[in-house]
C-alpha cells in the first residue's frame, strides 16, 4: 500500500482542484484497499469551520454520506478497517474555539480534503470485477480520477460526474 499512499500524496501536493476527486483501488491477494479524496468544498459546500453546534451536526451528516464502497458481491468482501474524515479530524481547533469568545476564522481558512480509506478482505478476490462508490451519485459535481493497482497490472481511468462504478476488468 506504500505505492497507493505515494500516488495520492504526490497528486495532492500538486493541485487542490474543486470538482475533482481522486480514488485508488489496490488489490493485493485477498486484501482490497480503497482510498478516496475530495476537496472539502465539494462535500460540505464550504471549507470554513462550523460556526455552531447545528452547523457541526450538518457537517457530520454530510461527511457520513461518503460511506463505504461496495466491492463486487461475488467476491464476498468483508470490511476490516476504515479511516474516515470527521468534523473532529477536519476541524480539531474547533474544540479549542468553543471555549473562548474571539474567532478569527480567516486565520484558519485553508484548503482541506476529505480523505477516507477502507480495507476489505475478500474470500474470492478473483471474482472482484468492480467497486461501487454510491456516494458519487450524491456529490454529482465531482469528476473522479481513479488509479488501479491490480494483480494484472496498473491502470487509470476517469469517472464522469454521477458515475459510481469503477470497473476492475
Note the pLDDT tens digit of each residue in 30-42: 999 999 999 999 9
- Select the more confidently predicted residue: 64 or 95: 64
Strands 20-28 and 31-39: antiparallel
Mean pLDDT value of segment 14-36: 91
Domain ranges, residue 67: 2-167
Whether the pLDDT of residue 6 is over 70: the answer is no
Question: Domains in the chain: how many in total?
Answer: 1
For residue 108, the model assigns a pLDDT of 45
Mean pLDDT value of segment 157-162: 94
Nearest-angstrom CA–CA distance, 29 and 4: 15
For residue 162, the model assigns a pLDDT of 87
Mean pLDDT value of segment 74-97: 87
For residue 5, the model assigns a pLDDT of 46
For residue 94, the model assigns a pLDDT of 58
Q: Share the mean pLDDT of the chain.
A: 86
Are 144 and 159 in contact by the 8 Å Cβ rule? The answer is: yes
For residue 17, the model assigns a pLDDT of 84
Q: What Rg value do the Cα atoms of the chain yield, rounded?
A: 17
pLDDT band at 95 (very low <50, low <70, confident <90, very high): low
Q: Which three cell numbers stand for residue 101?
A: 469568545
Whether the pLDDT of residue 131 is over 50: the answer is yes
Are 148 and 129 in contact by the 8 Å Cβ rule? The answer is: no
Amino acid at each position: 500500500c506504500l505505492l497507493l499512499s505515494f500516488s495520492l500524496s504526490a497528486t495532492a501536493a500538486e493541485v487542490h482542484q474543486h470538482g475533482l476527486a481522486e480514488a485508488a483501488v489496490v488489490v493485493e491477494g485477498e486484501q482490497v484497499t480503497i482510498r478516496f479524496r475530495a476537496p472539502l468544498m465539494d462535500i460540505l459546500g464550504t471549507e470554513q469551520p462550523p460556526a455552531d453546534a447545528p452547523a457541526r451536526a450538518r457537517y457530520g451528516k454530510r461527511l457520513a454520506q461518503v460511506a463505504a464502497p461496495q466491492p463486487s458481491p461475488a467476491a464476498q468482501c468483508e470490511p476490516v478497517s476504515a479511516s474516515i474524515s470527521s468534523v473532529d479530524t477536519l476541524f480539531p481547533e474547533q474544540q479549542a474555539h468553543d471555549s473562548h469568545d474571539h474567532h478569527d476564522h480567516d486565520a484558519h481558512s485553508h484548503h482541506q480534503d476529505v480523505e477516507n480509506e477502507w480495507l476489505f478482505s475478500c474470500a474470492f478476490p478473483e471474482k472482484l470485477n468492480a467497486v461501487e462508490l454510491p456516494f458519487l451519485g450524491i456529490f454529482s459535481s465531482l469528476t473522479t480520477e481513479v488509479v488501479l493497482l491490480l494483480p494484472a497490472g496498473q491502470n487509470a481511468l476517469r469517472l464522469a460526474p454521477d458515475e459510481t462504478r469503477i470497473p476492475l476488468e
